[in-house]
């Protein structure tokens, strides 16, 4: 039995909560009386409650985020109905701002806003000693990072074997991009590097090979970034995988010299471009040199084997549909492996809310609070862009359809893919659960019947992509086709492709 439970609902099992492990590691003498319980948002609330109460806890702390607030609120409501004596404590970014009107906060006993490692430990001591503080809202205290107990020893052997391990070499961000909660930070603060690398060595020695850095600005300090890359280069093997978020317009030579040494499959950069429109960048307090951004992305693609995942945001204040389309094509021309198109979200506490009136921003009042309309893009077109983003992820980011995608995009990539997106939604009414076999047939129908592309060229491209997929046989949409020439040429190219692999 444990007096203290630390719980959260992750988006999926493969995610391991770094925040809970920080809280657990910093409980001090209460650490033996606590444990972590992680679930997913798809788990039934009653099942979660049953599992939590089985331990007979006196206090349960929940990590609350934009993706799990609705589900967590259901769990908390049931807990308070069944076991009102159990103290419920909330923390996390979703409950750290605008606390007055949130249903989940009304249900809880206490809420810790901001960093929670020190404040949560103190609150637990008070509750277990019977001296619960009167205040529901407790401002989290952030002590020196050097004094925190690092959480990496709290990753279990199962975590190391089956899950993505989140790590951080620094906290905070010096930039003020208003769509991000990090705009509230004063600066980025590093953890003591030698201590951090010792912890990484401990994880590596236990078998960890996938490290996802959550630092907002990994490449901000070239010296620190270089030492981290050198650390992993010295331990490089075929299973190592590193993920970093990087500033797009800052790539010092010292980092370049190390990045080129990583083989394919070992390094991924998440590059937040967000917008190429200078007026929009100025409006949202984003300082970005677009020319350097292009130069750096082009260099990464031409000189390294790093996987490049670039982000763009739909619905920023002042950005029109044409402006977004121009930025999308500008980024696409730089050749990132993935372009993640995301709708602007009104994160609680983020300064982007100040533009709501002046720029006609309308957000969904329900999580994840995505943009619904702006003065520049109406609701109908934002819904089209949302479907564009989803289909782009399924088609382009999946990497399954390179030949077909080239035919589809042609010389007007944004407009051509938007037309396909509109048609695809009209045919299926769905943005999820599109089976691969069905998508092959939809490509075939759209490109040949709707677009009027050459039949042999289209089916040759589809056949080549199908052969890369590893599925045996000939695509089903070609079965029984009357034109023997098409069948023969497509089969031949499939066989030729297989022999060349």
Q: H or E segment at 32?
A: none
Partnered with residue 267 across adjacent β-strands are: 242
Query: Can you give the residue ranges of every domain in the chain?
Result: 4-145, 164-377, 400-501
4-145 CATH fold: Rossmann fold (3.40.50)
**Residues forming a β-bridge with 312:** 274, 341
Q: Which fold has domain 164-377?
A: pyruvate-formate lyase- activating enzyme (3.80.30)
**3-state SS, residue 409:** helix
Q: What is the DSSP string of 156-221?
A: -HHHHHHSBEEE-SEEE-S---TTSGGGG-S-EEEPPHHHHHHHHHHHHHTT--EEEE--TTTTSS
* Closest to 314 in 3D by CA, of 265, 254, 268, 379: 379
Q: Which DSSP string do the residues of 132-156 spell out, in sequence order?
A: --S-SEEEPP---GGGSPPSGGGS-
The pair of structure tokens assigned to 218 is 């990994």
Q: Supply the pLDDT for residue 472.
A: 66
Contact residues for 88 (Cβ-Cβ < 8 A; gap 6+): 59, 60, 62, 76, 79, 80, 107, 108, 109, 110
| 500 Cβ contact partners less than 8 Å away, ≥ 6 residues apart | none
* CB 332 within 8 Å of CB 308: no
* pLDDT the model gives residue 305: 98
Residue 27 makes CB contacts below 8 A (sequence gap 6+) with: 4, 33, 34, 120, 121, 124
pLDDT string in tens for the chain (501-residue length):
799 999 999 999 999 999 999 999 999 999 999 999 999 999 999 999 999 999 999 999 999 999 999 999 999 999 999 999 999 999 999 999 999 989 999 999 999 999 999 999 999 999 999 988 889 999 998 889 999 999 999 999 999 999 999 999 999 998 999 999 998 988 889 999 999 999 999 999 999 999 999 998 898 899 999 999 999 999 999 999 999 999 999 999 999 999 999 999 999 999 999 999 999 999 999 999 999 999 999 999 999 999 999 999 999 999 999 999 999 999 999 999 999 999 999 999 999 999 999 999 999 999 999 999 999 999 999 999 999 999 999 999 999 999 999 999 999 999 999 999 999 999 999 998 888 888 999 999 999 999 999 999 999 999 888 888 776 666 655 554 434 444 444 444 444 433 333
Residue 105: exposed, middle, or buried by beta-carbon count in 10 A (0-12, 13-18, 19+)? buried
Q: Residue with structure tokens 């040199």?
A: 289
Contact 494, 464 (CB under 8 A): yes
């Amino acid at each position: 039995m444990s007096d203290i439970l630390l719980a959260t609902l992750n988006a999926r099992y493969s995610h391991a909560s770094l925040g809970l492990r920080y809280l657990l590691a910093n409980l001090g003498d209460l650490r033996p009386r606590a444990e972590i319980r992680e679930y997913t948002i798809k788990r039934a609330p009653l099942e979660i409650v049953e599992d939590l109460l089985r331990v007979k806890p006196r206090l349960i702390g929940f990590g609350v985020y934009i993706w799990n607030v609705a589900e967590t609120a259901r769990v908390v409501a049931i807990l308070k109905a069944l076991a009102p004596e159990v103290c419920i404590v909330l923390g996390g970014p979703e409950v750290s701002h605008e606390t007055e009107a949130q249903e989940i906060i009304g249900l809880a006993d206490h809420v810790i806003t901001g960093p929670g490692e020190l404040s949560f430990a103190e609150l637990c001591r008070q509750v277990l000693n019977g001296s619960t503080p009167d205040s529901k809202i407790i401002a989290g205290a952030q002590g020196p990072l050097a004094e925190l107990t690092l959480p990496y020893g709290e990753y279990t052997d199962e975590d190391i074997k089956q899950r993505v391990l989140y790590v951080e070499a620094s906290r905070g961000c010096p930039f003020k991009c208003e769509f991000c909660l990090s705009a509230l930070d004063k600066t980025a603060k590093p953890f003591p590097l030698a201590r951090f690398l010792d912890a990484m060595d401990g994880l590596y020695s236990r078998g960890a090979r996938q490290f996802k850095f959550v630092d907002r600005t990994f490449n901000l300090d070239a010296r620190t970034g270089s030492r981290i890359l050198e650390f992993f280069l010295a331990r490089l093997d075929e299973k190592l995988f590193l993920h970093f978020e990087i500033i797009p317009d800052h790539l010092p030579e010292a980092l370049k010299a190390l990045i080129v040494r990583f083989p394919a499959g070992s390094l991924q950069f998440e590059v937040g471009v967000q917008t190429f429109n200078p007026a929009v960048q100025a409006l949202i307090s984003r300082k970005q040199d677009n020319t350097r951004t292009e130069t750096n992305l082009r260099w990464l693609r031409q000189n390294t084997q790093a996987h490049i995942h670039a982000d763009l945001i739909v619905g920023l204040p002042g950005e029109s549909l044409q402006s977004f389309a121009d930025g999308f094509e500008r980024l696409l021309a730089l050749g990132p492996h993935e372009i993640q198109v995301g709708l602007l979200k009104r994160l609680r506490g983020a300064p982007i809310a100040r533009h709501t009136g002046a720029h006609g921003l309308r957000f969904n009042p329900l999580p994840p609070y995505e943009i619904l309309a702006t003065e520049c893009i109406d609701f109908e077109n934002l819904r089209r862009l949302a479907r564009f983003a989803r289909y782009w992820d399924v088609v382009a980011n999946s990497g399954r359809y390179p030949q077909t995608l080239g035919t589809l995009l042609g010389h007007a990539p944004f407009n051509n893919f938007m037309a396909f997106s509109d048609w695809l939604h009209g045919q299926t009414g769905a943005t999820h659960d599109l089976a691969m076999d069905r998508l092959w047939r939809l490509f075939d129908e759209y490109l040949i019947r709707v677009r009027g592309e050459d039949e042999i060229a289209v089916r040759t491209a589809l056949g080549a992509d199908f052969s890369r997929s590893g599925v045996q046989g000939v695509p089903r949409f070609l079965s029984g086709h009357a034109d023997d020439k098409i069948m023969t040429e497509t089969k031949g190219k499939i066989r030729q492709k297989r022999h060349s692999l």
